[in-house]
Copies of this chain bind each other. A is one copy, B any other.
Amino acid sequence: MGDPDPLRVLQKGVEGMSVKMIDISSKDPVSREASATGTIQLKESTVERIKSNGVEKGDVLAVARVAAVQAVKRTPDTIPLCHQIPIEHVSVDFEISASLLRATVKVKACAKTGVEMEALAGVSAALLTVWDMTKKYEKDEAGQYPSTAIGEIRVLEKRKGARGRT
């Protein structure tokens, strides 16, 4: 290779900062379930618009649901070290109060690793989509968002079943 130097391993300090996708090859695929939830704080008038289908960009909850399902499937693209898991079910539910919208995403798969990151990615995408679709109504005159906030994103439950039939 025209390089007279013997190859030397990088010094320890640098090499320690490795990055790897954990080895799951010796695990058995079992049925997995996870659900996650999160909220977005909106103006009361925005929540009213969502309920009455008065949002210019369209059906907020339907678009957010589709965004969540797609985000669940694309988790290994979004989160670099996630394994690719063939998802077998996704459901997306919304609850709403005067100024808060809660999204809950449930995911199932038969896999060698859990699906909680998939559920969390689905919740995040749903809430970001709600923000995007309602941003026109959330901005103040200076174009800022003084009250809008996404929060409380948590894993509700993670379950691991019997060895899968796959």
Contacts and interface: CB of A to CB of B under 8 A. Distances in A.
Interface of A: 1-11, 14-25, 28-29, 31, 38-39, 41, 51, 53, 56-59, 61-63, 65-67, 69-74, 76-100, 102, 108-110, 112, 114, 116-117, 120-121, 124-125, 128-129, 131-133, 135, 143-145, 148-155, 157-158, 160, 165-166
Chain copies in the assembled complex = 6
B86 A85 contact: yes
Q: Please classify the interface of chain A as helix (H, G, I), strand (E, B), loop, or mixed, using the class held by over half of its residues.
A: mixed
B97 A17 contact: no
A53 B13 CA distance: 10
A24 to B, nearest CB: 5
25 contacts: A1-B100, A3-B97, A5-B98, A6-B97, A7-B95, A8-B96, A8-B97, A9-B96, A17-B62, A19-B63, A19-B65, A21-B90, A25-B109, A29-B166, A63-B81, A66-B66, A70-B77, A73-B77, A78-B78, A79-B125, A84-B87, A86-B86, A120-B131, A144-B158, A151-B151
